[in-house]
Amino acid sequence: MGDELGRAADVDRVLIDEKIIEKRLDAMAAEIDREFPAGSIVAIVLLKGAFVFAADLLRRIPRPLEIECLNVSSYHGGTESSGVVKFLDHSLPDVQDRHVLLLDDILDTGRTLKAVRDRLLLEGCAAVHTGVLLAKDRPREEEVQADYVGFEIGDEFVVGYGLDYKGRYRNLPFVGVLKP
C-alpha cells in the first residue's frame, strides 16, 4: 500500500485502472488473432513507451510471434511533441514481405506512427497493422490511424503503464493524470 502511494503520489486521478486494462487487452488480443492473416507475425514495439502494453498484449496472442523493438523519440521528455520523429537505432529489423504489427503506447499527433509505418513500408514489408493502448481525441497532424485501439481518451497528458513524464511513472500499473 505504501509502495502504491509512493509511486502514485504525483497522480491527480486514475483514468484507467489495471483491471480494466487487462480486460481490454484480452479482447484486443483476440481481435488481432482473428483478423491477422495466417502465419507468423512480426511485432514491432516502439520503445520505450510501448514496452509494458506490448508485453501484456503479446503474451495474450496464441500464435507464432517474433518481437522486435525500435527506439524512436518525439517528445524528448516534456509534455509537448517536438514535431520531429528520431530513429535512434543503427539498423531496422528485417521485415521484407512480412506482416507487421506495429505497437505504440499512444496515438497523439500521429507523427510517430506515420513516420515508422512509412519507413517499414519502404523496407519492403507486406503490410503494417497498427495498435495503440491509447488514442487521444484530437485532430491528427498526420493522416494515420490505429487499426487496434485500447482506449480513446481526452486530449490531456497521461502517464503510467509505460507512458512517462521526463522519464518517470512508466512503472505505474494504471494510466493516470498528474497533478498540475
Determine the Cα angle at 76 with ends 70 and 80, to 5°: 115
Among the residue ranges 1-9, 46-54, 59-67, 118-126, the one whose residues contact Mg ion (CB under 5 A): 46-54
Query: Does 117 interact with ligand IMP (rule: CB under 6 A)?
Result: no
Q: Which of 28, 29, 49, 125 binds ligand IMP (CB under 6 A)?
A: 49
Task: Write phi, then psi, for 23 (nearest 5 degrees).
Answer: -65, -40
**Binding to Mg ion (CB under 5 A): which residues in 64-83?**
75
- Beta-bridge partner residues of 54: none
Question: Residues in contact with ligand IMP, total (CB under 6 A)?
Answer: 18
Query: Does 163 interact with ligand IMP (rule: CB under 6 A)?
Result: yes
Q: Which is nearer to ligand IMP, 16 or 46 (CB)?
A: 46
Can you give the C-alpha Rg of the chain in angstroms?
Answer: 16
C-alpha cell at 110: 500521429
Show which residues are catalytic. 108
Q: Which of 7, 36, 51, 81 binds ligand IMP (CB under 6 A)?
A: 81
Distance CA 130, CA 70 (A): 14
Distance CA 39, CA 30 (A): 15
**HSE (side-chain half, CA atoms, 13 Å) at 139:** 1
Query: Does 49 interact with Mg ion (rule: CB under 5 A)?
Result: yes
- Residues found near Mg ion in the complex (CB under 5 A): 49, 75
- Residues found near ligand IMP in the complex (CB under 6 A): 46, 49, 74-75, 81, 104-112, 157-159, 163
